Structure 1
Amino acid sequence: MKNLFTILTTLAFLNSIQAQIVITTSGDTYLVNFTDFDGSGFDPAPSDGQLDSDTWSVTGMSDGDLDFGGTATTGDLARGTSTGFETVSGLYAASIFGDQALMVQPADDDFTPGTIILKIENSTGAEITQLDAEYSIYQLNDKNSSSSFNFSYSPDNVSYTDIPALDYATSETADFSIFSEFKSTSLTGLSIAAGDYFYIRWKSDDVSGTGDRDEIALDNIAITGYAGAPEIVVSFTAPGETDDESFGT
C-alpha cells in the first residue's frame, strides 16, 4: 500500500478531525486520517473525538440517517472504539496497526445498503477543474460474506457518478485476515465554482454470502483540488542551446 506521506505535493494537514475540508489553495493536498476520532459520534460543533457533521453524512443505519449539520452521539453512529471482531453493528473508531480509521460493521438492518459522504468546499477563489482523491480501505475478513465499498462523486449530493475502477468487495470466505487496498483517482473536466461544494461518496451493500458481514474501514483520505486551466508547457530547442518557456493562466 502506498504511503501517503510520500506525496510530493505540499500537504496541508487538517489539524483536527473537527475541521471541515475547505480547499483554500490550488495544488495543496488535504489529509483526513481520523487520528483523534474516538467513535463518539457526529455534531456540527464537535467535541473532542467527534466528527464534524457539516463535513460528513451517513445513510443506511436503522437508527436513521445523519444529514449534513445533524447530530448523532449515541447508537449506530457512535459505537466507540474497536480493535475488530464486533458483534454490534454501527460505526466505530478502529485501531488498525496503530492507526485510527473510520470503521463500519454492517448488519441486516445497518448499512446494507449504506453510504458515507464527504463534503468538500472550494474556497480557492477560482473554479476547480480537477480533483485528485486517494484513500485506504481496510477489511477484517472474519465472516463468510462479501460486501461492496464503491466510490462515486457528485456536484450536488443528488446525482452521483460511479468510478468502476475504484469498486471494492470484501472476500467472501472468512480467513480472519486483515486486508488493505489503496485507491486513487483523478477527476477531470469538473466545474466547481468558487464557494461551491463537491461530494465524494462510499456506498456499501451485500454482494454475496449469508449471515454476518465483514468489517470495513476507511482511512488516509487525501484530497487535492486544482483551480483554473492546467499549465501548458512549451519547449523550444535551437541548435546548441535549450530554452524552456512556460505559459500558464
Structure 2
Amino acid sequence: MAQSERITGPHIPAQGVDPVLARMRAVAARLPPQDGVAVFNRIYLSVTEAMDHAIDQGARGGFGDRPAAVALGVRFAERYLTAVDAAACGVRPPACWRPLFQFRSHPQVRPLQFALAGINAHIGHDLALAVVDSCHTLSCEPAALEDEFDRVGDLLVSLEERVREELMPGPDLLQVADPLTHLLGSWSLERARDGAWAAARAVWALRDLPSLQAEFAQRLDASVGLVGRMLLTPLPAFPG
C-alpha cells in the first residue's frame, strides 16, 4: 500500500454513512443509466442503503458495534468513490478499477458483467484495505472488526443473488448466453470475500514492513484487476 493511501483520519462522521450515500447519489445523477459505472453504482448504492438501515437498527440489524460498522462502511465506500473521482479528473484509478472504467461504454459488455466487475474490484481489493483503514481509524486489530466484516459480506452475498436475478438474460436467451454463463460461473463472491479477509490480515501484519506491505497491496490490486478484465470480456450481441 502506498504511504499516501494509508488512512489515519479524519474521525468517523457522526452522521454515519450518509455522506458517502450522498456522493453515490450524485454519481447516479450525473451518469447515463447504461454507463457501466452507473450500473455498478446503482447496485452499490442499494447495498449501502441497506447497510445504513441495518446500522440504525443496531444489534437487531446485525451491527452491534456502531462505530466499527460506520468506520468500515465509510472507509469501504471511500475507496470506490476515490476511484470515481480519479477517473473523472483524468487520473488513472487503481488497477482493480481500470477495466470497468475502460470498458464502461463497450456495446458488447452486458450490464451483469459491469455489475460483477465492480463487485469484484470492491470486494477483492477495496474491502481488504478498508479493514486496514478502519483499524488505523479505530486503533484496533482486524479481529475486532470481524463481526462487522461478516455482516457486510452477508449483505453483499444477498446483493449478488439479486444482481443475477435482475440482470441475467432470460431463459429464451440461455443458449446464446452460454459464454456469459460460463464466464460468470468462474467467479464467486464467497471466495472473493474469504480472500479479502485473508488479505486484510496479511496487509495489517505487514504494517511494520512498509516496503513489503506496499508490494503485497500492489500485487493484490493488479491480480483483482486481471480478474475484472476477464469478467468484462466482450461477448457476441444477442440476436434480435
Alignment TM-score, normalising by the size of structure 1: 0.29
More strand by percentage: 1
More helix by percentage: 2
Relative contact order, CA 8 A, sep 6+: which one is greater? Answer: 2
